[in-house]
């Protein structure tokens, strides 16, 4: 069955065209085309499907907060065609038993390509390297490894992990947090946390690890990816490292591009996240860094949590925020409507760069005849109030906010996975 995306502007450029999709590929681009199913995309922008390098799907272990199925649905609704499922599950994804399962379950659900992330160290404990080679060789085909949630804090372990990863041709993604500097920390260290009596998480805890890992990657001739960059100083270090030819890449989350620590005032733990919401000056630096390519891409860090783990004392609450279904709108608000990125730029930071970083050859591809039909249709003029989301969990900091831009439809290898807010299983 063919699908015709009717009257859409590729990357928001030029005149509207029709895009015919058949057999999983873009079969034709032109005007006056016809197809079996017609998706009217008048006024919409067509982009390559989004790729999320940082998603927590909570299966196995916390299926009360998200599953591979519910998370895949949220991803499709958010315009994603590929997500990387982090390893901090229970049991931890530190062996092929878990990573093979995550891959297989994602394929069964079939709404988005679910790529398992393997742990760097056994049990995320930071002490002993996990069998990265076995996870890479298994049916899970793991290509990205991370202890996310925890930092690979020991420099010698990190050095060995980078060396091992470089011989395997896989990527290490670091959650940069020097644990000796963040003991008991729950909020960004600054005037707001001090006034509110919250223990601070200093910028240097992130920046010192980013700088250290840049040097370790340089010496190992390895690649390193920095998860959720959150400070102006991290942007400066990335700029320096890239100028030295170090193979370092980085992501920023939508929430760090929009929110700052003035949100802590209410002590509502929906605003608690790792790394913490920083200051306005950091938000500005992150936006500029993303616009200039110093920060490579956007990753959601979609982190579902149960009500009881969020609606409690701030210090006891778990850190993390939902992200998949609101990412595009937050990027439109912070990067497009501010003039920092055009739609080509959105395609770069939400699809092309993350696909390249993870080495996916069928995602983030040009919208051209013969290319795989992994596509996202966006209505740039729509605007809506964030209300009920489709994730099992409810912890979105954006609830009640009026945000611009809407994902109208998503297509995975030519199959419509979401259309007008409905998932197509």
Q: Catalytic site residues?
A: 301
Q: Give the three-class secondary structure for 56.
A: coil
Classify residue 406 by burial, with Cβ atoms within 10 Å: 0-12, 13-18, 19+: buried
Q: Give the three-class secondary structure for 123.
A: helix
The least distance separating Zn ion from the CB of residue 320, rounded to whole angstroms, comes to 9
381: Cα within 13 Å, side-chain hemisphere: 5
Binding segment for Zn ion (CB under 5 A), chosen from 45-53, 143-151, 326-334, 402-410, is: 143-151
What's the rounded Cα separation, in Å, for the pair 106 and 114? 5
| Residue 47 or 209 with smaller CB distance to ligand NCD | 209
| Residue 175 or 203 with smaller CB distance to ligand NCD | 175
The least distance separating ligand NCD from the CB of residue 177, rounded to whole angstroms, comes to 8
Residue 206 in the binding site for Zn ion (CB under 5 A)? no
Q: Which residues bind ligand NCD (CB under 6 A)?
A: 56, 88, 148-149, 175, 273-274, 301, 303, 318-320
200: Cα within 13 Å, side-chain hemisphere: 16
| Per-residue x/- track, 154-183, Zn ion (CB under 5 A) | ---------------------x--------
Range 88-121 burial, b when 16+ CB lie within 10 A, else e? bbeebbbbbebbbbbbebbeebbbbbbbbbbbbb
The least distance separating ligand NCD from the CB of residue 276, rounded to whole angstroms, comes to 9
| Residue 173 or 235 with smaller CB distance to ligand NCD | 173
What's the rounded Cα separation, in Å, for the pair 276 and 129? 28
The entry of Zn ion, ligand NCD, none near residue 273 (CB within 5 to 8 angstroms by kind) is ligand NCD
Give yes or no for a cis peptide into 109 (omega within 30° of 0). no
Beta strands 37-48; 113-118: pairing state: unpaired
Residue 56 in the binding site for Zn ion (CB under 5 A)? no
- Kindly tell me which residue out of 148, 189, 282, 296 binds Zn ion, with binding defined by CB under 5 A: 148
The least distance separating ligand NCD from the CB of residue 86, rounded to whole angstroms, comes to 6
The entry of ligand NCD, Zn ion, none near residue 105 (CB within 5 to 8 angstroms by kind) is none
For tokens 């297509």, what's the residue? Answer: 411
List interacting residues with Zn ion (CB under 5 A).
148, 175, 227
């Amino acid at each position: 069955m063919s699908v015709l995306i009717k009257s859409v502007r590729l990357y928001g450029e030029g005149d509207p065209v029709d895009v015919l999709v058949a057999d999983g590929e873009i079969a034709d681009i032109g005007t006056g085309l016809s197809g079996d199913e017609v998706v009217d995309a008048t006024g919409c922008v067509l982009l390559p499907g989004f790729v999320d390098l940082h998603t927590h799907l909570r299966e196995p272990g916390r299926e009360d907060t998200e599953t591979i199925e519910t998370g895949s649905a949220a991803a499709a609704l958010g315009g994603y065609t590929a997500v990387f499922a982090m390893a901090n599950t229970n049991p931890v994804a530190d062996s092929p038993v878990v990573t093979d399962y995550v891959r297989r379950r994602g394929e069964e659900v079939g709404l988005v390509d679910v790529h398992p992330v393997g742990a760097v160290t056994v049990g995320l404990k930071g002490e002993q390297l996990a069998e990265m080679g076995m996870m890479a060789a298994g049916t899970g085909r793991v290509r990205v490894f991370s202890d996310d949630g925890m930092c690979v804090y020991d420099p010698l372990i990190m050095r060995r992990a980078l060396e091992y990863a470089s011989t395997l041709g896989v990527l290490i993604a670091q959650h940069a947090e020097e644990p000796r500097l963040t003991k008991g920390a729950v909020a960004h260290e600054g005037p707001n946390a001090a006034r509110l009596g919250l223990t601070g998480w200093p910028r240097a805890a992130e920046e010192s690890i980013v700088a250290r890992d840049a040097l370790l990657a340089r010496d190992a001739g390895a690649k390193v990816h920095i998860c959720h960059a959150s400070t102006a100083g991290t942007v400066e270090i990335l700029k320096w490292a890239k100028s030295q030819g170090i193979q370092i890449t980085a992501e920023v989350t939508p929430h760090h591009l929009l929110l700052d620590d003035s949100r802590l005032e209410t002590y509502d733990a929906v605003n608690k996240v790792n790394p913490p919401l920083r200051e306005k000056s950091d938000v500005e630096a992150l936006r500029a860094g993303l616009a200039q390519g110093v920060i490579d891409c956007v990753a959601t860090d979609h982190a579902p949590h149960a009500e009881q783990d969020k609606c409690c004392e701030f210090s006891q609450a778990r850190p993390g925020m939902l992200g998949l279904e609101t990412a595009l709108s937050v990027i439109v608000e912070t990067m497009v409507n501010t003039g920092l990125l055009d739609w080509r730029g959105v395609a770069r930071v939400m699809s092309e760069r993350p696909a390249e970083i993870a080495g996916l050859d069928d995602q983030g591809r040009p919208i051209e005849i013969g290319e795989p039909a992994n596509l996202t249709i966006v209505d740039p003029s729509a605007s809506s109030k964030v209300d009920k989301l489709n994730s099992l969990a409810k912890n979105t900091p954006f609830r009640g906010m009026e945000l611009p831009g809407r994902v109208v439809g998503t297509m995975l290898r030519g199959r419509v996975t979401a259309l007008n807010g409905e998932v197509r299983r």
